[in-house]
Structure 1
Amino acid sequence: MTVKIPVIHTPDTPNTDQKSNLLGMSKDELSQFFVNMGEKAFRATQVMKWIYQFGVTDFFEMTNLSKALQAKLDKVACVVPPAVKFKQFSEDGTRKWVFEVAGGSLVETVLIPAEDGKQFGRKTLCVSSQVGCALDCSFCSTGKQGFERDLTASEIIGQLWVANQSYMQGVAPTERENRVTNVVMMGMGEPLLNYEPVVASMSLMLDDHAFGLSKRRVTLSTSGIVPKMYDLAKDIDVALAISLHAPNDELRNELVPINKKYPLAELIRAAKAYVYDENPRHKKHVTIEYVMLHGVNDSDKHAHELVALLADLPSKINLIPFNPFPHAPYGRSSNNRIHAFSNILNQAGFVCTVRQTRGDDIDAACGQLVGQVADRTRRAKKWQESIQKRQDQKA
Structure 2
Amino acid sequence: MTSKRQCLCCSLLCLFFCTVILQLCHNGLLKHVKHLLVKKQLHQTSLALSDIRRPQILTPFISTDPPSSSSVLSHHISFPHGDAVRDDVLNAPWVSVLRETLHKFPSKQLNLVASNGQFRSILLNWLISSLVKLPRPLDNVLVIALDSDLHTLLEERGVPSVYVDNTTVVSMDTEMQTRYSHIWITRTTVYRLISHWGYDIAVFDSDAILLQNPTQLFDTYKDVDMIGSAGSYPFLLGEKWGVTFCMGVALFRHTHRTELLWEVLAGTRNFSMDDQVKLNYALDECSIQWSPVHVQTETVLGECAADKLGGLRVAVLPHSVICRKAPCASSLYVLHRNSRKESSAKRQIARTYGVWYLRPNWTMIDSRTTGSTRLTGTEWLRAIARS
TM-score of the pair, normalised by structure 1 = 0.27
Query: Normalized per residue, which structure has more helix?
Result: 2
Q: Which has the larger radius of gyration?
A: 2
TM-score of the pair, normalised by structure 2 = 0.28
Report which structure shows greater RCO (CA 8 Å, sep ≥6). Answer: 2
